[in-house]
């Protein structure tokens, strides 16, 4: 509990007025909750003593009506305040969490699965906010209600009867706490199991086209069933812990009732207590049940939240390997980029993907990158996005290490079109404008023109305002590529990287795009990764990668004269065409 309070202390300080307001209304509600039973006990004594008058009847009746109304109004105000505060806290936590995710590098996303990150952002953070807002009500309100009720029972009715009937309850609570500690250890395991289920369902939803194409529905359903059953079985263990709590405490509470009734009757027979006082006592004993069970529920929330806090902290404590220097310099343009003996190995791999890369890219050049599958082409161009730090050598921009520049600025001057095209369930315009939300209509139209996407607008239901299906399901492969190219072009970046982004378009469309790039991106740098050599034939410099090394370089004519890998592959492609 202390850990949770520390975790939200900044929020409590900021919203202290709301917390004080909630505390005041909780005290009022606690007092108003106990009042009707006390008035009822007095009414019974008045009736038994035969001293009831019309005046006292009206007074008692009015009190029994007015106090519940006051309690209702107080509860209404309290619930509104606590829900509003809870939503604020949930919003702030998710904002902090998502900002952290956006600050992380690619290595982080290789370490943590999507399903796990989603679980931490949804159910885990929900647990923290529920616990954070229920602590006040669960601990302060219920503890206060219990103490006030026991004080009234002991001081105004009978301390002996209070001692006899109430002191047995801590025995039940102690046993509950022992079970609860064991339960908390298992909840940690359950969160991992739940994350695995979330990851699998997410994978099945995202990959449903591939699953259907290969008629793997049954196998995928079996795997889904396995992870869902694991989650269900895990929940059963938790429910078994819960099933031990309620019956055990109810048994202890029943004993308290029996003791109160038996000894209360004895005290009445010995004229140490009135019937009305016994009714008040029994009523208060009944009132205690709710707060005690609620406290038990709060501790359950706290147990769950403690696990969630640990998982939240695990993410927040991770520091990105790629981050800006304290005095990082801004950059808006460049003259030259140089790779000097660059080597790179992915964190989870044993062998390097890039080895001894030496390459100079001058502003305004078009660079072509070709090579066999798995030769490191995409890995090479992604180094300009600073997703990872290179493991060997240096990347220099205008003779300064790329690490010396602001990472955000580096990514701003680069327009990257990856092999896999991530499109959002938004309009065509909205998907393109992600590249530059402040772009004018002229800039939008130019990006569409260069990407040769104009001809497709007539086939879309609502033209440029057509809503794209989730993941681009309503578009063809070529349309997805060209839409992604338009999104990169609308940035008007200093460096445009097309990472095998023309593979799904026909030869005429490819020729149109390359011609438009040459016309409208004069003076800017283009880097084209391709398997089709027609896409790089006009490049100023073409490099051939094999097993992470540059084995050939030069323009098209120079490479053809060398009669190496490029020469062989080019001739083979020409024969196929």
What pLDDT, in 10s, does the model give residues 321-360?
888 888 889 999 899 999 999 999 987 788 889 999 999 9
Q: Which residues, listed in sequence order, are joined to residue 64 by a DSSP beta bridge?
A: none
Can you give the residue range of the structural domain that contains 97? 2-181+247-316
Q: Which long-range contacts (CB under 8 A, 24 or more apart) does 359-363 make?
A: 359/543, 359/550, 359/553, 360/336, 361/336, 361/337, 361/525, 361/527, 361/541, 362/335, 362/336, 362/525, 363/333, 363/334, 363/335, 363/336, 363/494, 363/523, 363/524, 363/525
What's the confidence (pLDDT) of residue 175? 66
Going by pLDDT thresholds of 50, 70 and 90, the confidence category of residue 244 is low
Whether the predicted pLDDT of 180 surpasses 70 = no
Q: Is residue 449 included in any domain, yes or no?
A: no
Q: Is residue 461 included in any domain, yes or no?
A: no
In the three-class reduction of DSSP (H, G, I as helix; E, B as strand; rest coil), residue 55 is classed as helix
**Highest mean pLDDT out of 239-243, 308-312, 389-393:** 389-393
Q: Is residue 152 included in any domain, yes or no?
A: yes
* Element housing 423 (H / E): none
What's the confidence (pLDDT) of residue 409? 92
Q: How far is CA 577 from CA 368, 441, 536, 571, 572, in A?
A: 20, 39, 16, 10, 9
State pLDDT tens for residues 265-309.
888 888 888 888 888 788 878 777 777 777 766 766 777 778 788
State pLDDT tens for residues 197-208.
888 887 787 777
Top-confidence residue, 392 or 162: 392
Going by pLDDT thresholds of 50, 70 and 90, the confidence category of residue 410 is very high
Task: Name the domain count of the chain.
Answer: 1
Whether the predicted pLDDT of 563 surpasses 70 = yes
Q: Is residue 368 included in any domain, yes or no?
A: no
- Mean pLDDT, all residues of the chain: 83
What is the Cα–Cα distance from 102 to 119, expressed in whole angstroms?
17
What's the confidence (pLDDT) of residue 354? 93
What is the Cα–Cα distance from 266 to 54, expressed in whole angstroms?
33
Going by pLDDT thresholds of 50, 70 and 90, the confidence category of residue 210 is confident
What is the Cα–Cα distance from 441 to 429, expressed in whole angstroms?
10
* Element housing 365 (H / E): none
Q: Is residue 169 included in any domain, yes or no?
A: yes
Whether the predicted pLDDT of 496 surpasses 80 = yes
Whether the predicted pLDDT of 500 surpasses 80 = yes
What's the confidence (pLDDT) of residue 123? 81
Strand order in the sheet with 392-397: 354-362, 336-344, 392-397, 400-401
What's the token pair of residue 2?
Answer: 């202390």
Whether the predicted pLDDT of 546 surpasses 90 = yes
pTM: 0.69
Q: Is residue 543 included in any domain, yes or no?
A: no
Whether the predicted pLDDT of 71 surpasses 80 = yes
Q: Is residue 468 included in any domain, yes or no?
A: no
What's the confidence (pLDDT) of residue 146? 78
Top-confidence residue, 188 or 491: 491
State pLDDT tens for residues 40-70.
777 777 777 777 778 877 887 887 788 888 8
| CATH number of the domain to which 36 belongs | 1.20.1560.10
Count other Cβ atoms within 10 Å, centred on residue 362. Answer: 14
- Using an 8 Å Cβ cutoff, are 223 and 260 in contact? no
Q: Is residue 186 included in any domain, yes or no?
A: no
Mean pLDDT within 197-220: 78
């Amino acid at each position: 509990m202390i850990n949770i309070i520390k975790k939200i202390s900044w929020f409590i300080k900021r919203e202290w007025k709301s917390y004080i307001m909630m505390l005041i209304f909780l005290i009022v509600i606690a007092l108003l909750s106990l009042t009707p039973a006390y008035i009822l006990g007095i009414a019974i004594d008045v009736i038994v003593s035969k001293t009831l008058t019309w005046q006292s009847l009206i007074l008692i009746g009015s009190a029994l009506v007015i106090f519940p109304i006051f309690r209702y109004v107080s509860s209404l105000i309290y619930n509104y305040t606590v829900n509003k505060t809870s939503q604020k806290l949930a919003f702030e936590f998710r904002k902090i969490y998502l900002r952290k995710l956006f600050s992380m590098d690619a290595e982080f996303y290789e370490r943590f699965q999507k399903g796990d990150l989603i679980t931490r952002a949804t159910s885990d953070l929900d647990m923290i906010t529920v616990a954070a807002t229920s602590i006040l009500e669960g601990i302060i309100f219920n503890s206060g209600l219990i103490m006030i009720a026991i004080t009234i029972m002991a001081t105004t009715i009978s301390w002996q009867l209070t001692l006899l009937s109430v002191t047995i309850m801590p025995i039940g609570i102690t046993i509950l706490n022992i079970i609860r500690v064991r339960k908390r250890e298992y909840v940690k395991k359950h969160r991992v199991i739940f994350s695995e289920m979330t990851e699998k369902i997410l994978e099945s939803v995202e990959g449903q086209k591939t699953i259907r194409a290969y008629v793997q529905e049954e196998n995928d359903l079996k795997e889904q069933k396995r992870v869902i059953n694991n989650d269900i079985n895990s929940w059963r263990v938790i429910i078994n812990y819960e099933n031990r709590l309620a019956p055990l405490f109810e048994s202890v509470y029943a004993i308290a009732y029996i003791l109160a009734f038996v000894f209360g009757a004895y005290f009445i027979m010995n004229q140490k207590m009135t019937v009305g006082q016994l009714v008040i006592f029994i009523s208060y004993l009944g009132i205690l049940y709710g707060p005690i069970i609620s406290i038990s529920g709060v501790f359950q929330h706290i147990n769950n939240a403690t696990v969630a806090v640990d998982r939240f902290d695990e993410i927040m404590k991770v520091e990105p390997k790629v981050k800006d220097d304290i005095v990082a310099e801004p950059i808006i343009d460049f003259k030259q980029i140089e790779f000097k003996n660059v080597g790179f190995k992915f964190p989870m791999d044993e062998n390097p993907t890039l080895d001894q890369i030496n390459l100079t890219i001058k502003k305004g050049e078009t660079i072509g990158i070709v090579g066999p599958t798995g030769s490191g082409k995409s890995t090479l161009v992604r180094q300009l996005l600073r997703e990872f730090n290179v493991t060997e050598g240096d990347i220099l921009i205008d003779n300064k290490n790329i690490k010396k520049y602001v990472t955000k600025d580096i990514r701003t001057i680069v327009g990257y079109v990856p092999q896999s095209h991530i499109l959002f369930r938004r309009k065509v315009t909205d998907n393109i404008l992600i590249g530059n939300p402040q772009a004018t209509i002229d800039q939008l139209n130019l990006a569409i023109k260069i990407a040769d996407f104009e001809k497709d607008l007539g086939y879309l239901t609502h033209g440029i305002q057509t809503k794209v299906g989730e993941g681009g399901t309503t578009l063809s492969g070529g349309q997805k590529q060209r839409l992604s190219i338009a999104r990169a072009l609308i940035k008007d970046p200093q460096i445009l990287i097309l990472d095998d982004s023309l593979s799904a378009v026909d030869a005429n469309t490819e020729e149109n795009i390359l011609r438009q790039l040459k016309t409208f991106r004069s003076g800017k740098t283009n880097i084209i990764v391709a398997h089709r050599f027609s896409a790089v034939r006009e490049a100023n410099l073409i490099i051939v990668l094999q097993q992470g090394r540059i084995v050939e370089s030069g323009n098209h004519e120079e490479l053809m004269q060398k009669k190496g890998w490029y020469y062989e592959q080019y001739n083979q492609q020409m024969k196929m065409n």
